[in-house]
Amino acid sequence: MPPPVTPAADDVRWQPWYYLGLAVLALSILTAVAIFTNAACGSGSASPASPSSIAATPSATGTTVQPSVATPEPSPTSPASSPTSAPATPTAGTAEPSTPRATPTEDPSPLVGCGLLAPVDQDHRISRDCVVGPLVEVEGFSLNAEAAAAWNSMKADASADGIDIYIISAYRGYDVQKQLYDQEVAAFGPDQNTSAKPGHSEHQLGTTVDINDLSGSFGDSPAGQWLQQNAARYGFVMSYPPGREGQTGYAYEPWHWRYLGPGTASAYLGSGQTLNRFLGS
């Protein structure tokens, strides 16, 4: 066992004031540490911001927040800000002014009776359902029965003379005639004189035939010449002869023959008139 240490007389560590100084030093160190700790904690706590600081501080997006008392801008839909705005759309209950529509003008031509001798031309019309019946089939076409019998007789006699005649068109209803007329108007204009208006065509009667060839030269052919010399004996006449376009309203059609009956056909040839004038007088 070591011997006990005996302090020297000049060792200050054993003096009372030495211990008092150590105590003061320790207290100073603790005080300094406390002050430093409080200062560090206080710097991490934000104090409440005043309204004025909020207004002046930029937001996260970089846009300055406007104070709530700022003057409001006019709304884009405000009447005061849009003096030239478009007129309001009428509501469902508001009637819009309508533009009058032109109505098709009804054919002003006089309506004539439906019969074998009806004066059908540019100035006279027959009803939509007019047809002089009964109709029978001849060479694949529909024709008035009386006219068909006369045609068959004329065809046989022409054949005996070495002339071949045949039908290329006969009865045409109102609707078919309208289609043909519209096509001609579209191609040649409203002043065309080769197709009759619906209701103004002799073909609708069922007593008219187109023969062989739809050309002006047919009149000079053997068949055309034979018809001009003999057709009236069977009751057929040429409705639109040459040189009479001003009276008939249509171009020369040597292929277009209408059945009137032998007696009326003979009287017509002796009158010197056009067919429309003869039947309309």
CATH number, position 171: 3.30.1380.10
* H helix or E strand, kind and range, residue 236: strand 236-238
Domain membership flag for residue 213: yes
Q: Which of 106, 137, 184, 253 is catalytic?
A: 253
Is residue 265 within 8 A of residue 117, CB to CB? The reply is no
Is 191 domain-assigned? yes
Please check whether residue 107 lies inside any domain of the structure: no
In a domain, 12, yes or no: no
Is residue 148, in this structure, part of any structural domain at all? yes
In a domain, 102, yes or no: no
- List the structure tokens of 94: 């508001």
Catalytic residue list contains 73: no
pLDDT (0 to 100) of residue 57: 39
Whether the model clears a pTM of 0.85, i.e. scores above it, the answer is no
Q: Is 18 exposed, middle or buried (0-12, 13-18, 19+ CB in 10 A)?
A: exposed
Low-confidence residues of the chain: pLDDT under 50: 1-2, 5, 7, 43-104
* Full residue range of the structural domain in which residue 171 is found: 135-280
Q: Residue 193: its pLDDT value, please?
A: 79
Task: Tell me which residue has tokens 């839909």.
Answer: 77
Residue 100 lies in a domain: no
- Tell me, yes or no, whether 27 lies in a domain: no
Looking at the structure of the chain, the number of domains it has is 1
Mapping DSSP to helix (H, G, I), strand (E, B) and coil, where does residue 2 land?
Answer: coil
